[in-house]
Structure 1
């Protein structure tokens, strides 16, 4: 069928009209991600379970509708945007159940729309969690989106998000359902689960995800450190990762530290303090830790250049403290100094906060670009990025474009550098719906600023070139990161063959990841 309205009627007949949304404002909303406004879809399909998802996709295939899978919508690389007019967005947010928690076999199975925060709230009182347990946007970002886009933060010492998957139930482009793995073992033969991990929905829509479980640590130790010199900062960060001393190792440059400190008031810190006190396992210990946070205020990083923040976990407090002491020795040898550890304490106590940071402190637009590097490439990459910014300094100052960095290590092998931009520009529906209403009401509403955005686009293109020269990898590939150009030709041919097998008509998120 070529007429989208007739095609939508066929989908509605298959699943029921209540699962199909054609409201204009809703269609505009799902045609956006954090950075881009794309094409308005013909409609939105919101299945409630795997059966309705399968029926709806089968009907869409028969009607020759292009499919745009959507997770939580927290991406910035156009991977969730409809590739053409008249597409059908498949929004799995209503499929948000936790289907089973198996404490004997240490697995959990969820529907794709379950958020990382909801999963945490279920498992944390049980003393359980997946080894890699979400991104900072996990209040909105869901497990299915994480498995499609990949990403990293909580549990980064164990790798990226997709490394935790044991198996998927996937609905293919014709509506058929396949299961990868066998729920308890991912690689029973060739790793089919891995083919669907990080595919941005190009191969199918993940409906059910099974993850392994581990027991929560019994003890924690937190460290924060300041460095004036980028080389010393990177040297220490890499060595902490190589030594495997912390479950999370992340850092900021001076600009991003300043942005973070401007975001929240001390009243917010006091609210976060409740979570810190609860997480300490005892009233008096929690009270002591909370008092430290209040006493530290927001000035403890004022004179820092770069900062590292670490979270050590242990079976006992002695083991966690021993790992932190080893980190202290690494920092001291590199020329850093310890500072008050407020940031990792508050973040770990409240792992999935509001997503107000998707805009700047005054309401500026925000977008990141990242590269996952070998440790030996981290400092040359940072130096090349600094040179790029120096080259465009006058233009960046003219358009009031601020630039900072998030740094994070992944496992013992990888160093992530995530440059971010802030600039005055118009906000969209995606921002208004995600940011807390009270916070959004206080923000400055800047007019559209196409010249500044064009410069941000050019700077991001420059970053892509640098990351390519440094042989970086990426998450959230979408339609922004050049997967084909960075792939071995033979390996790329295999991906194209998989695409042809599971989606011969190329109707499942066409163009995503370059397929």
Structure 2
């Protein structure tokens, strides 16, 4: 009995059965996300299945210990970092099994820690995939995290965000209860209970398993790239292309982000990735030709481009993919585009889950994106405001070595993502070292912490968040960064609070996330 009296809180959680770590290095590593470090953690819990997850959550919250879910660790919005010390962080990476692939009902069920890359590779031999099939960080990013953050990229131009491919969930609530939502083959059935826990950034419960729709993998593809003189032309073309419904992905970069990408990427790896893709499609000669085209085109084809836009199409037969591509091409040219080499979309599609080397700038600078999702009717005004904000801080940014680049992307049925990325001279953190390709990370200059640059970035990020709120933007990775509750109708906010109170009466499930 004396032993139990002297047990620490972490020991009590460990007794529930899941691996529980308290060493200094582990706690420090898991205290970081891509952007910053949160408060000190009590412990890191690594459950291997839903039963261990449920028991450990119940053990922690029974001791009034906050619990925080972490997927692949790719958050940069405070999704799993908190300013409240003493929390138990749940690393769900060991819950990575693919539990069921049902080719009759066209569904797949996975544990929350399964990565997008692992699922895609498992489905590929069957000629299947999910409609939304991952983020560019999918080598590390987990499906549970993607459903919590409502991520986007692969398939977003046609099928929307991650949440729109989800059919059902198993969620562990704050008291350890395992809640099953949905029937697993259709959504919704009655009120959308599954939807309550999607895009919640882990504030309402921890996802244990996810069931998603399956579709046949595309058999034919099309690629095109365009340059524009202005962001107005680029956004107008992107909007019309999205409304036409002809692309699976449509994205672009401003001149600064184009320049950053050209510095960072490798011609040799580009050629190899394209060759690998062509060989998979059964064309050795095609592999040689595509690799040669990359080397010949080099990275000069966008040097003089003001803005770039890249489109990818797909279909059951090549004629369908080509027809969609021709429609996208006609729209882009109508808005003043010049067609350029389609190297970038081909390279990205050839290696959809590549190494996460964009987490630092070309000379080792830190990176932090800030995004807003806007209807096309408001996108240009918001982009203008972003430009004006940076112009008003130009002198200070230049002096401290802070620079920006902006990405835009279409989201089917919703509008346009505008994502200014901040770069600044500063020391990397452990998440960068663990996530990037080791050889690439080793080549980058190792910078020291720059407090003045960091403070300016903090100020710029806060100003961007306020600007996006003023323009009525929505957000995906809400975490602890975006002002979600400030954007809600008062009656909707009351409903959110009542749901939180029901599923987490003591506010122990990722407190502070989602503004709760």
Same fold (TM over 0.5): yes
Change (3 A) 1:88 1:316: same
Change (3 A) 1:489 1:182: same
Deviation at 1:336, TM superposition (A): 0.5
Whole-angstrom distance in 2 between the partners of 1:286 and 1:221: 16
CA displacement, residues 199-245 of structure 1 (integer Å, 9 cap, x when unaligned): 11111100000000000111101010011122111111111111011
Whole-angstrom distance in 2 between the partners of 1:343 and 1:403: 20
Show the counterpart of 1:252.
253
Deviation at 1:376, TM superposition (A): 1.1
Show the counterpart of 1:510.
511
Whole-angstrom distance in 2 between the partners of 1:192 and 1:286: 47
Whole-angstrom distance in 2 between the partners of 1:313 and 1:188: 31
Whole-angstrom distance in 1 between the partners of 2:248 and 2:72: 25
Deviation at 1:30, TM superposition (A): 0.8
Whole-angstrom distance in 2 between the partners of 1:238 and 1:325: 16
- Whether contact under 8 Å (1:67, 1:82) holds in the other structure is no
1:44-443 equivalences in 2 (<5 Å): 44-157=44-157, 158-443=159-444
Change (3 A) 1:272 1:292: same
Task: Classify the secondary structure of the residue corresponding to 1:504.
Answer: coil
Task: Classify the secondary structure of the residue corresponding to 1:90.
Answer: strand
| TM-score, normalising length: structure 2 | 0.97
Structure 1, unaligned stretches of length 5 or more?
none
Whole-angstrom distance in 2 between the partners of 1:166 and 1:83: 34
- Whether contact under 8 Å (2:267, 2:294) holds in the other structure is no
Whole-angstrom distance in 2 between the partners of 1:30 and 1:181: 32
Deviation at 1:83, TM superposition (A): 4.3
Whole-angstrom distance in 2 between the partners of 1:266 and 1:438: 16
Deviation at 1:469, TM superposition (A): 1.7
Whole-angstrom distance in 1 between the partners of 2:86 and 2:10: 10
Show the counterpart of 1:494.
495
Show the counterpart of 1:33.
33
Deviation at 1:57, TM superposition (A): 1.0
- Whether contact under 8 Å (2:369, 2:421) holds in the other structure is yes
Deviation at 1:11, TM superposition (A): 1.2
Whole-angstrom distance in 2 between the partners of 1:14 and 1:334: 61
Change (3 A) 1:330 1:507: same
Task: Classify the secondary structure of the residue corresponding to 1:354.
Answer: coil
CA displacement, residues 306-336 of structure 1 (integer Å, 9 cap, x when unaligned): 0000001111111111111111111111110
CA displacement, residues 237-256 of structure 1 (integer Å, 9 cap, x when unaligned): 11111101100000001111
Alignment RMSD, CA only? 1.3
- Whether contact under 8 Å (2:148, 2:197) holds in the other structure is yes
Whole-angstrom distance in 1 between the partners of 2:244 and 2:173: 42
CA displacement, residues 40-79 of structure 1 (integer Å, 9 cap, x when unaligned): 2111100000011111111112222110111111011112
Whole-angstrom distance in 2 between the partners of 1:5 and 1:353: 44
Show the counterpart of 2:12.
10
- Whether contact under 8 Å (1:54, 1:176) holds in the other structure is yes
Whole-angstrom distance in 1 between the partners of 2:300 and 2:317: 32
- Whether contact under 8 Å (1:276, 1:345) holds in the other structure is no
- Whether contact under 8 Å (1:279, 1:349) holds in the other structure is no
Whole-angstrom distance in 1 between the partners of 2:224 and 2:56: 50
Deviation at 1:281, TM superposition (A): 4.2
Change (3 A) 1:20 1:373: same
Task: Classify the secondary structure of the residue corresponding to 2:56.
Answer: helix
Whole-angstrom distance in 2 between the partners of 1:5 and 1:462: 46
Whole-angstrom distance in 2 between the partners of 1:356 and 1:55: 37
Deviation at 1:7, TM superposition (A): 1.6
Change (3 A) 1:209 1:447: same
Task: Classify the secondary structure of the residue corresponding to 1:367.
Answer: strand
Change (3 A) 1:4 1:333: farther
Task: Classify the secondary structure of the residue corresponding to 2:16.
Answer: helix
- Whether contact under 8 Å (1:4, 1:86) holds in the other structure is no
- Whether contact under 8 Å (1:83, 1:509) holds in the other structure is no
| Matched residues, number | 511
- Whether contact under 8 Å (1:82, 1:89) holds in the other structure is no
Deviation at 1:280, TM superposition (A): 4.1
| TM-score, normalising length: structure 1 | 0.97
Task: Classify the secondary structure of the residue corresponding to 2:191.
Answer: coil
CA displacement, residues 461-512 of structure 1 (integer Å, 9 cap, x when unaligned): 2212221121100011111100110111111111111111111011111111
